[in-house]
Amino acid sequence: MAQRDTLRLAAVGDLHCTRHAPGPLQPLFTQVAEQADVLLLCGDLVDYGLPEEARLLGKELAALKLPVLAVLGNHEFESDQTEEVQQILCDAGVVLLDGDAYEVRGVGFAGVKGFGGGFGRAALQPWGEAIIKRFVHEAIDEALKLESALAKLRTPQRIALLHYSPIEATVRGEPPEIFAFLGSSRLEEPLNRYPVEAVFHGHAHHGCLEGQTSGGIPVYNVALPLLRRSFPDRPPFRLLEVPLPTPAELETSISHP
């Protein structure tokens, strides 16, 4: 029986490209080009959110000649130049997902940065001071953006990209005191409502590689420092092969821009 075609995804986050050194990232991009059809970047693309960092990274990514889909991380906001950083990356061909849906060869992608707030019973609630309510509403807004992106996809296979974690399991290994700043279980709700094939996130450099949502969806922490430590002899990205839709499935999948 003929094997079904697949789309090979390489996922990694937390490149933290500095203005001095895109150099260490070059071997990674070479290996991505050899092994994958699409590169997924899970935020903290640059280190201080500076345009010059984005220009260096953009140059490397443009040379890749692969579709590159990305979400922003908290580091892209550090220098208050987020819009310029985004524009530079878009000009380099990077598809930035901020509550958006995107398709590559009939496989659907939904992405959002996400936010903190904590997990399960320890999740921060919108109660008391206005600033606490704003903090919680930021996470709720990000979850709603993710939900609306997922709702737009009619593809048989869907992949979610985040920077912050939607579950506690993949941040374990970090100090428990900072769990609340590493993700929010509010992001998990849409992932269970609109089932996806896999979820990739970064941000928790000292977390765990894998977990799953309460609905059983695999969640992969692809923070580069974690991958480098965990697999010193392997290319530092998570490779996932997703089956391409059949012609019949393609006909029934309607794109909603």
Task: List residues near Fe ion by CB under 5 A.
Answer: 14, 44, 73-74, 203
- Closer to Fe ion by Cβ: residue 37 or 53: 53
Cα–Cα distances (Å) from 97 to 30, 69, 86, 162, in that order, read 24, 7, 11, 9
Strand 38-42's sheet: what is its strand order? 94-96, 68-71, 38-42, 6-12, 238-243
Residue 199 tokens, joined: 């979820």
From the CB of 6, what's the least distance to Fe ion, in Å? 29
- Closer to Fe ion by Cβ: residue 110 or 223: 223
From the CB of 203, what's the least distance to Fe ion, in Å? 4
From the CB of 241, what's the least distance to Fe ion, in Å? 26
From the CB of 128, what's the least distance to Fe ion, in Å? 27
Say if residue 137 is exposed, middle or buried (CB neighbours under 10 Å; 0-12, 13-18, 19+): middle
End-to-end Cα separation, the chain, in angstroms: 36
From the CB of 192, what's the least distance to Fe ion, in Å? 24
- Closer to Fe ion by Cβ: residue 107 or 171: 171
* Cβ–Cβ < 8 Å for 108, 86: no
C-alpha span between 147 and 36 (Å, rounded): 27
From the CB of 15, what's the least distance to Fe ion, in Å? 9
- Closer to Fe ion by Cβ: residue 12 or 107: 12
Residue 257 tokens, joined: 């821009």
- Closer to Fe ion by Cβ: residue 194 or 200: 200
From the CB of 162, what's the least distance to Fe ion, in Å? 11
- Closer to Fe ion by Cβ: residue 28 or 107: 28
Helix %, strand %, coil % of the chain (to 5)? 35, 25, 40
- Closer to Fe ion by Cβ: residue 39 or 226: 226
Our separate counts of H helices and E strands in the chain read 7, 11
C-alpha triplet 154, 159, 165: angle, nearest 5°:
135
- DSSP lists the bridge partners of residue 96 as 70
